[in-house]
Chain A
Amino acid sequence: MNLSTKVGSFELANPFVAASGTYGYGTEYGDLSSAKEWGAVILKSVSKNPRPGNVPPRCCEVDSGMINSIGLANVGLEKYIAEKLPVFVSANPDAVCIASLAGETLDEFLYLAEKLSCIKTIKAFELNISCPNVAKGGMHFGADCNASRQLVTEIKKISSVPVWVKVTPSTTDPLGVASVCAEAGADAVVATNTIPAMKIDINRCRPVLGNTFGGLSGPAMFPASLRIAYMIHRALPELPLVGCGGVDCGEKAVQYILAGCSAVEIGTATFRRPDTLAEVKQFLEDYMDRMGFKTIGDFRGLATR
């Protein structure tokens, strides 16, 4: 049985990718979720300048998941390159690393792409144009087809690193955004990110989160995100697709593959169980064995045909 997969021309040893923002800088979990076991890991989104992040409280639990409003807290590009990447590489020499880029403007995205293109550790970029927790960039970019098209076009002009675009579910036309990204040369689309959400503390009579709103993640996201992945694959079967949203067990990962995804990101579930990846991999092997599938390609997109 062969669990390897290709996202466009980018080969992964298995289809499971640690989602950005849930896997820190790749060393925090230690042996509990080792980077080399993943097909690839996507480090915390990096911005041009350091970002302290949003006012706490930044996260809370809700039914079937959680809401976060981290606000893209990160060390900034300079420290990312000088400190975080070397520590990651020395701890995980065999792991496949993807950088998540978070720009507030087109110029910032281009700056990040240019500086990171010459770093050998980075095997692909994921463009975070879907974060709901920042005032500029993020989702505001990703809900705009023209801005998304221009972003991907300009980055492809200056970088040969494969570009994945993480699209927001919070638009009436996620398929439209995916289409323009594909036309502009994106190497893959990731469907999807969190949706804006909130919780109110009835004893304090106030919103729980310091930022009032945050992004909903966890199993609650799964059915909505799966639908978007399915729609994108059905309309654009040639576009390499990565599923993301709510996967906490192997059965849900298989659903994303059946919807047309070549890889599947896992994030919030790792908070709950750092050994989620091991369970999901085992489920996939057992499923493929039971169904007689030899490769991921044997059943990818089957549910859309």
Chain B
Amino acid sequence: MKIQEKGIVISNLEKARCLHFMEIYLPEISKQIQPGNFVSLLPPASSSAFLRRPFSVAGVGNKSIKLVIRDIGKGTHAITSLGKDDAIEVLGPLGNCYPVFAPDKKIWLLGGGTGIASLLFIHAVHKNPDDKILWGGKCAKELPETSQLPSGCTLATDDGSCGECGNVVEVTRRWLSSDKPDYIVACGPKGLLKGVQQLVSEYNIPAWISCEEFMACGMGACAGCAIPLAAGGYARVCADGPVFKAEEVVL
């Protein structure tokens, strides 16, 4: 059930340039949220942002949810400027979720930018020590220190300034020369997701991707967040997604 709830900011840590890890007290929404779901935040009144901002959830805490937000425009700037005990209005849970993966299956979680959020949630829930997270960015400044991340997390940068050198798709391809997961899950910019589509098709690996699109309502009413389907027509990212089988959508 979708809930409109007033949240209270528990913490807001800028772990890399403009990249905020926020935890928000939301006793009702946190009870229901599943990996893959997103919430939409109403930017504070101090901002002139009109529409809500959607964010995939990165995990749950004690009656709280965790978010990863990049300060990239007036809405996200106002949200990431909030401090401890500040209030924010939240709608959720929204959208579909990832399938429940069997505990013995090995999953590679491939993220770019804030796309890492829902992958951290899967990682925390799935708990298979053989799972791997690969988190890519342009350079070291865009990503947190590895020490701030869960074990099993590898960083990759386009310029090699930290972690593996190369983008997420290139690094995954290298890994695939000596290893293969049961499933791949990816979330990030369109270029990354396109590369992953290509890769999982070549290696025949079942994969899910979480997509992003401009949204107005976030609840399936306006059809504003359309994404083309391989079978023809469109799906709504907010209500039919954001999670799709990798081969299902045209990016």
Question: A29–B221 contact, CB under 8 A?
Answer: yes
**Are the CB atoms of A70 and B223 closer together than 8 Å?**
yes
**Do B234 and A53 touch across chains, with their CB atoms under 8 A apart?**
yes
Whether, in the assembled complex, B32 has its beta carbon less than 8 Å from a beta carbon of chain A, the answer is no
**Among the listed A52, A64, A271, which residue makes an inter-chain contact with B216, where contact means beta carbons less than 8 Å apart?**
A271
Pick out which of these stretches binds chain A: B44-52, B129-137, B168-176, B196-204.
B44-52
The CA of A73 and the CA of B225, in the complex, are separated in Å by: 12
Known contacts A28-B239, A275-B4: does B225 contact A58 (CB below 8 Å)?
A: yes
A58 CB contacts on chain B under 8 angstroms:
214, 223-226
- Of the candidate stretches A18-26, A120-128, A226-234, the one touching chain B is A18-26
Judging by beta carbons under 8 Å apart, are A28 and B213 in contact?
no
A68 within 8 A of B: yes
Q: How far is the CA of A64 from the CA of B226 in the complex (A)?
A: 23
Do A66 and B1 touch across chains, with their CB atoms under 8 A apart? Answer: no
Q: Which residues of the partner chain B approach A93 to less than 8 Å between Cβ atoms?
A: none
Task: Tell me, yes or no, whether A79 is within 8 Å of chain B by CB.
Answer: no
Verify if B195 is at the interface (C-beta below 8 Å from A).
Answer: no
Determine if B219 is an interface residue (Cβ-Cβ < 8 Å): yes
Given contacts A28-B220, A52-B233, contact A272 B52 (CB under 8 A): yes
The answer to whether B1 and A59 touch across the interface, beta carbons within 8 angstroms, is: no
Asked whether B222 is an interface residue with its Cβ less than 8 Å from the other chain, the reply is yes
Residue numbers in B under 8 Å from A53 (CB-CB): 223, 226, 234
Which of A52, A64, A68, A219 touches B234 (beta carbons < 8 Å)?
A: A52
A32 and B4 contacting across the interface, CB-CB below 8 Å: yes
Q: Which residue of B lies closest to A58 (CB)?
A: B224
In the complex formed, the residue of A with least CB distance to B221 is: A24
Main secondary structure of the interface of B (DSSP, over half): loop
A60 to B225, CA, bound (A): 10
Q: Give CA–CA (A65, B218) in the complex, Å.
A: 16
Which B residues touch A56, using CB under 8 A?
Answer: 213, 225-228, 234
Tell me, in angstroms, the Cα distance from A30 to B228 when the chains sit together: 26
Q: A32-B4, A63-B48, A68-B216 are in contact. Are A273 and B223 (CB under 8 A)?
A: no
Complex Cα–Cα for A273 and B90 (A): 10
Give the contacts of B109-152 with A (CB-CB under 8 A). Answer: none
Decide if B8 is an interface residue (CB 8 Å cutoff).
no
Residue of B nearest to A59 (CB): B224
Known: A56-B234, A59-B216. A22 touches B1 (CB 8 A): no
Cβ contacts under 8 Å, B218 to chain A: 271
Q: Which residues of B contact A73 (CB under 8 A)?
A: 223, 226, 234
Assembled-state Cα–Cα distance A56/B225 (Å):
7
Q: Take A57-B213, A58-B214 as given contacts and tell me if A274 and B4 are in contact as well, using a CB distance cutoff of 8 Å.
A: yes
CA distance A109 to B1 in the complex (A): 37
Which residues from A are CB-within-8-Å of B228? 56
Identify the closest chain A residue to B219 (Cβ): A28
Contact of A65 among B42, B50, B224 (CB under 8 A): B50
Contacts of A30 in B (CB 8 A): 1-2
What's the Cα separation between A32 and B49 when bound, in Å?
22
Among B1-19, those with CB < 8 Å from A are: 1-4
B64 CB, nearest partner CB in chain A, Å:
21
B165 at the interface (CB under 8 A from A): no
Cβ contacts under 8 Å, B232 to chain A: 52
Q: Is the CB of A22 within 8 A of B226?
A: no
**CB of B91 closer than 8 Å to a CB of A:** yes
A245 within 8 A of B: no
9 shortest A-B CB distances, which residue pairs?
A24-B221, A59-B224, A28-B221, A271-B217, A28-B220, A271-B216, A73-B223, A56-B226, A58-B224
Can you report 16 residue pairs joining A to B where beta carbons are below 8 Å apart?
A22-B221, A23-B221, A24-B221, A24-B223, A28-B219, A28-B220, A32-B3, A52-B233, A53-B223, A58-B214, A59-B222, A68-B224, A271-B51, A271-B217, A271-B221, A272-B51
List residues of chain A with CB under 8 Å of any chain B CB.
Answer: 21-24, 28-32, 44, 52-53, 56-66, 68, 70, 73, 218-219, 268, 270-275
Interface residues of B (CB under 8 A from A): 1-4, 42, 48-52, 75, 91, 213-228, 232-234, 239
